Amino acid sequence: MTIRRICCIGAGYVGGPTMAVIADRCPDVQVIVVDLNDQRIAAWNDADLGRLPVYEPGLDAVVGRARGRNLFFSTDVDGAIGEADMVFISVNTPTKVKGLGAGQASDLRWVEACARQVAKAATGHTIVVEKSTLPVRTAEAIKTILEAAQDPPGNGDVPRTFSVLSNPEFLAEGTAIRDLETPDRVLIGGEDERSIQSLAAVYGQWVPDDRILRTNLWSSELSKLTANAFLAQRISSINSVAALCESTGADVREVARAIGTDSRIGPKFLQSGPGFGGSCFQKDILNLVYLCRHFGLPEVADYWESVVHLNTWQQHRISRLVVQRLFGTVTGKRLAILGFAFKADTNDTREAPAIRISRDLLEEGAQLAIHDPKVEPSQISRDLRLESVVPDPETGTTSQALSGQGSWWTAGSVEQAVAGADAVLILTEWTLYRHLDWKDLAQRMRRPAWVFDARSVVDRAEVQSAGLTYWRVGDGAQ
Ligand code: NAD
Ligand code: UDX
């Protein structure tokens, strides 16, 4: 079956960029991305490509080439499903916040809603592709819902039939376009060889065949959770070693280089920092933990859960350390937070380390001036569950500072953020922060002043020669 029309349900960080690249690379395939969120769809349709709802380097160019040609964004979910040969489900699967499995299991209500909507609106034969990250064996539930809506054999000219594939997405935010255009691999899990071949032919337009892996449904679903768990586990491992380096005089960068040159270990994902953030790692590991307990494997569950515990500990460790260095109190002190996104080159703040660290410091009564080149102030406000307060332009402080309550505001520039600050915390590795003029910034700060470089992005000698006290993660020499 040659795929001519694709519908993707979910126009988020995965659905939008993934479908844009498919449309760009497959001009003969019509791709419609649908979402219930009409504001998000309007933003995808914005004539100004600088205002797309997702910030990803290179995305604007890809959308610019394909949109209106064979790439469309719409809120007409039923209409797009009805026309499609293939429907991708790319909706959110966050951790459940209440009920059975709360705090660990994935909330599958949006996925189930999609399956029911496809069951209702599809016509002819439809291949349904799980693109969302899902617990292993979710395809069983989707198949059951779709099979209940299937026409019995011999019913009508073109009976409604379905097949289900798993095709997890491995893109990382900030490099999504590169990851989609030159993936390490594309994974397709399924039972029906013809459907697998149809999807492989779509990717085959630009991905070499030896990079298209075919597995059974359950291996595909489980591989996605496992890949994220392995990647996150490396970060927790190196962060645990960073703490030990700080106590022993070792340097985590040197240790990472020394172990990363072992070809069995490899150099990637050994960057120590403020702990991993992002919408995937924590959620997917917790989901794995839940599944392990469900299947009677508590030791396996405990093993993976420790990766998340270590990560949370690392974030609290950094905020504690800042308080300790600033003579045991940050109450009323101004601190500049540089970077709020969970990593560079994205406007996404989901599970960003900056959230937990900022909350800890606000709890201690700090006054935070937050700078990020891409994150909207309204998003920071939602993440911190606190409205921003504009400081008095004359005194540079807020009324909260005197009462000991924490408060925050957004700074339009790094210079503005550091003005009058006792300390700078670098929490996202934006390129901008690698090239700061520390001599100039130091003059704007209150002395003695500190730089806490949780991302190891600035030059220690430069900061120190500007008269600032420098701390970076995992450096035992300080
Ligand atoms: P997202 O929250 O950015 O986007 C999901 C979109 O789905 C939202 O816009 C929402 O309105 C829409 N939606 C939900 N239910 C719908 C319905 N019934 N009909 C129409 N639209 C609906 O999420 P995301 O970051 O794109 O992630 C989607 C999935 O991909 C998740 O399972 C995630 O774990 C997985 N994933 C994410 C990444 C990543 O880097 N963000 C990478 C790989 C995999
Ligand atoms: C991750 C996976 O990499 C991707 O394959 C999957 O599809 C989605 O989840 P993402 O979360 O977008 O991607 O970004 P990633 O580059 O993996 O970074 C995740 C977090 O780990 C970030 O907070 C990042 O700063 C941190 N990180 C990454 C480190 O602290 N050290 C590293 O060495 C690498």
Q: Can you give the residue ranges of every domain in the chain?
A: 5-215, 217-478
Give, for ligand 2, the residue of 281, 288, 347, 428 to mutate: max count of ligand atoms closer than 8 Å to Cβ: 281
Nearest CA to ligand 2 atom 14: 172
Q: Is 225 in the pocket of ligand 1 (CB under 6 A)?
A: no
Q: Where are the alpha helices (DSSP H) in 96-216?
A: 109-121, 138-147, 176-181, 193-203
Higher-confidence residue of 158 and 167: namely 167
Q: Can you give the pLDDT at residue 398? A: 77
Measured in Å, residue 259 CA sits from the centre of ligand 2 at: 20
CATH number attached to the domain at 217-478: 3.40.50.720
Q: How far is CA 289 from CA 35, 110, 172, 307, 435, in A?
A: 30, 21, 22, 11, 41
Q: Cα-Cα-Cα-Cα dihedral of 12, 15, 21, 26, to 10°? A: -150
Q: Can you give the pLDDT at residue 391? A: 84
Q: Is 37 in the pocket of ligand 1 (CB under 6 A)?
A: yes
Q: Tokens at residue 424, please?
A: 């700078």
Ligand with smallest separation from the Cα of 231: 2
> What's the chain's average pLDDT?
96
DSSP string, 199-231: HHHHHTTTS-GGGEEEE-HHHHHHHHHHHHHHH
Q: Can you give the pLDDT at residue 394? A: 72
Residue 154 confidence class, pLDDT cut points 50, 70, 90 = confident
Nearest CA to ligand 2 atom 17: 172
Question: What is the per-residue pLDDT across 220-260, written as a single tens digit (0 to 9) for each?
Answer: 999 999 999 999 999 999 999 999 999 999 999 999 999 99
Question: What is the per-residue pLDDT across 340-393, written as a single tens digit (0 to 9) for each?
Answer: 999 999 999 999 999 999 999 999 999 999 999 999 999 999 999 999 998 877
Q: Can you give the pLDDT at residue 320? A: 98
Instruction: Look up the pTM and report it.
Output: 0.96
Residues that are catalytic: 169, 224, 280
Q: Which atom of ligand 2 is nearest to the CA of 284?
A: 9
Q: Where are the alpha helices (DSSP H) in 7-159?
A: 15-25, 38-44, 59-66, 77-83, 109-121, 138-147
User: 302: alpha, beta or left, given left = phi > 0 and alpha = psi -120 to 50?
Assistant: alpha
Q: How far apart are CA 216 and CA 472, in angstroms?
A: 45
- Same-fold call for 5-215 versus 217-478: yes
Beta strands across the sheet bearing 450-453? 407-410, 367-371, 334-338, 423-426, 450-453, 469-472
Question: What is the per-residue pLDDT across 437-456, written as a single tens digit (0 to 9) for each?
Answer: 999 999 999 999 999 999 99
Q: Is 277 in the pocket of ligand 2 (CB under 6 A)?
A: yes
Q: Can you give the pLDDT at residue 151? A: 81
Ligand with smallest separation from the Cα of 342: 2
Q: Is 345 in the pocket of ligand 2 (CB under 6 A)?
A: no
Q: Is 270 in the pocket of ligand 2 (CB under 6 A)?
A: yes
Q: Can you give the pLDDT at residue 194? A: 97
Nearest CA to ligand 1 atom 29: 132
Q: Is 169 in the pocket of ligand 2 (CB under 6 A)?
A: yes
Question: What is the per-residue pLDDT across 379-438, written as a single tens digit (0 to 9) for each?
Answer: 999 999 999 998 877 777 777 777 889 999 999 999 999 999 999 999 999 999 999 999
Give the dihedral sign, CA 30/34/40/42: positive
- Is the domain spanning 5-215 CATH 3.40.50.720? The answer is yes
Measured in Å, residue 181 CA sits from the centre of ligand 2 at: 18
